[in-house]
Amino acid sequence: MQKSTISQIPYIDLKSQHASLKSELLSAIGGVIDDAYFILGEQVAEFEGKFAQLCGVDYAIGVNSGTDALIFALKALGIRSGDEVITAPNSFVASATCIRVLGAKPVFVDVGDDYNIDPSKIPAAITPKTKAIIPVHLTGRPCNMEAIVGIAQENGIAVVEDAAQAILAEYQGKPVGSWGTVGCFSLHPLKNLGTCGDGGMIVTNDAELSEKLKVMRNIGLRTRDDCVMWSHNSRLDTLQAAILLVKLRYLQQWTQQRRANADYYQTHLAGIPQIQIPPEREGEKCVYHTFVIQVERREELRQFLSNRGIGTAIHYPVPIHLSTAGKELGYAEGSFPVTEQQSRRILSLPIYPGLTVDQLEQVCENIKSFYQT
């Protein structure tokens, strides 16, 4: 079948998502301006309540970003200089930033074929200094939380889930964010539930931790006049919360579309020997923040697709331990062979809700034709 070779399929399309919601968003924004309750207005509490419900937990606390969510979570658990925290080296850098900015040491554990931390390799990384594990649900695929929580309990250490990419993902029917001591989410515009600016959420079932986190995000103020600790100012804006309440109505539908798009790719890219795609395994509900395949001749394929108007991305080309900032951690090329090999082969395909079947077909046909030539 001969399709037009001139297509325009961007890697991501935020403009059309917002265009379709514009009147609803403007009305929500207008409401906040009329009330002029810009800091910790009622929309923040309403969004926190709905978000907690979505994650199947008792408490949700809105903060300024996913990075701050991770930093506060670790800080509230008492992580500090001299401690070690285990995470994966193939994540977005913030998964390690949150550890290091508290003076603690990120200890990396290599990942498996599914891009998530390999639980079988965690025990060997645990020392008397280990205080927490940060499993990252990368690409929107849940980590094996049963194994990870089991290891953490045996060793008396906390689990802080980095669920920045994974809102609504589930492991064995239980939402991510509800498995660990604390769960952290990002509301960055590019995430599955993204706002029109920065934002993040922390979720937990621990009432005491929740109270502490609310004080921590609010400059240490328990009440207007009672400062109980030195802390940052990192609150989710009322404006962002109002925007998120609009977008929340569409999240299930968007997630379904991401899953349907992934299903299309799984079916139509199967059987190409130069491509590997991790399957969705028993017990996993993936929400496909990204759809990451592993390919041969990646740079050539990327250029080929780009020439045909198809955008792709790489999440992430440089593993954290090999980044400029990460060099001080003492790892080197070869420290994490699976992560490093994947970093040279991974390619993220367009997966955003709103892609048409015709567009998905064009992506698949072009990939096939690349490997046939």
Site residues, ligand PLP (CB under 6 A): 65-67, 91-92, 94-95, 136, 162, 164-165, 186, 188, 198, 200
Cα–Cα distance for residue pair 306/7, rounded to 1 Å: 10
Closer CB to ligand PLP, residue 184 or residue 367? 184
The DSSP line for 169-219 is -EETTEETTSSSSEEEEE--TTSSS--SS--EEEEES-HHHHHHHHHHTBT
Q: Collapsing DSSP states into helix, strand and coil, what is residue 159?
A: strand
- Residue 349: in which H helix or E strand, if any? strand 346-349
Closest contact distance (angstroms) between CB of 244 and ligand PLP is: 13
Closer CB to ligand PLP, residue 149 or residue 201? 201
Closest contact distance (angstroms) between CB of 344 and ligand PLP is: 20
Closer CB to ligand PLP, residue 159 or residue 275? 159
Do the bridges between strand 130-133 and strand 84-87 make them parallel or antiparallel, or are there none, so unpaired?
parallel
Cα–Cα distance for residue pair 132/94, rounded to 1 Å: 16
Cα–Cα distance for residue pair 185/372, rounded to 1 Å: 41
Closest contact distance (angstroms) between CB of 163 and ligand PLP is: 8
Closer CB to ligand PLP, residue 264 or residue 291? 291
Closest contact distance (angstroms) between CB of 91 and ligand PLP is: 5
Closer CB to ligand PLP, residue 97 or residue 231? 97
Strand partners, 204: 59
Closest contact distance (angstroms) between CB of 295 and ligand PLP is: 22
Q: Which residue is nearest to ligand PLP (CB)?
A: 66
Which residues, 6+ apart, have CB-to-CB distance to 8 below 8 Å? Answer: 309
The DSSP line for 84-140 is EEEE-TTS-THHHHHHHTTT-EEEE--B-TTSSB-GGGSGGG--TTEEEE--B-GGG
Closest contact distance (angstroms) between CB of 162 and ligand PLP is: 5
Cα–Cα distance for residue pair 239/197, rounded to 1 Å: 10
Closer CB to ligand PLP, residue 186 or residue 255? 186
Closer CB to ligand PLP, residue 90 or residue 362? 90
Read off the tokens for 73.
């979570």
Closest contact distance (angstroms) between CB of 83 and ligand PLP is: 20
Closest contact distance (angstroms) between CB of 204 and ligand PLP is: 17
The DSSP line for 274-326 is TEE-----TTEE---SSEEEEESSHHHHHHHHHHTTB--B-S-SS-GGGSTGG
Closer CB to ligand PLP, residue 188 or residue 247? 188
